[in-house]
Structure 1
Amino acid sequence: MPMMLPAAQAVVPFISTISNHYLILESEVICDIPGKAADAEWRASLDEFLSSIELALTGAGVAMQAKTMVFLNPEETVVHRYIVHLQLDGAFEPSKIAELLSNTAAEISLHTPEHRLKYSPCFTDQVVTFVIEAGV
């Protein structure tokens, strides 16, 4: 279970920042985890891993609905990636969301420099997509 807390720590602050300004109808987090990092203990607690992230988002009122998926990456890497899709309610300003994410990344890097926003966010209709990397 050691990877549950870091996953929530990597994802929740970014999503929470956006939820302070916009209503998030649904969040989807795809966890791209190095296969070598998923030992037997972690695999045995996979359901708890998934539900802990979803609970962190819905329980705190950050998103109305949340779903989490895991992709075990066969590449030789130690980097964990979290691909986040947020469906927002109503109109939003892409530049404001990009600024919010950038500010959150700068703030987080002061405490945990291994967590970073990988790319500029993408916008399609009412969906915002961004990627967070967390080195271990």
Structure 2
Amino acid sequence: MPALTVQFRRLETTRAAVGWAGVKAIIADRPKDLAGGMGLGLSGGELQALALGAGFCNQLQLSAEALGLEITALEVDVDLAIEGDLLAGATIRTRLATAEGEADTDRLLAHAEANSTISNSCTRGFPVTVARR
């Protein structure tokens, strides 16, 4: 997979930032009245939880294709908690069904868990470097 770059730039007259990847954009902000936040967009924690959920949903589709299975129902919920040491912990809960039945659903879930880039990166830890441009 090629490297991925996104950009964030402050949204004028606010303390929020607009982020984009290609032609897709979001607004990142803090909750209202927290460090000047206006609640205009998603917080970093919300974005992290969304990334975990989106990555796992996408991986379930990739895994289903690799295993020759058809997903007939899919729900993914992510619970994220920030602990005192500034590390987040997350639980990804799924409701999943395949045309092939429950045994294949278990196999699909195990395959997706083993191959999910985002959840495995978070679980194993990955380096983050902060640098000036």
TM range (shorter): 0.3 to 0.5
Higher relative contact order (CA 8 A, sep 6+): 1
Q: Which has the larger radius of gyration?
A: 2
Normalising by structure 1, what TM-score?
0.37
Specify which structure has the higher proportion of helix: 1
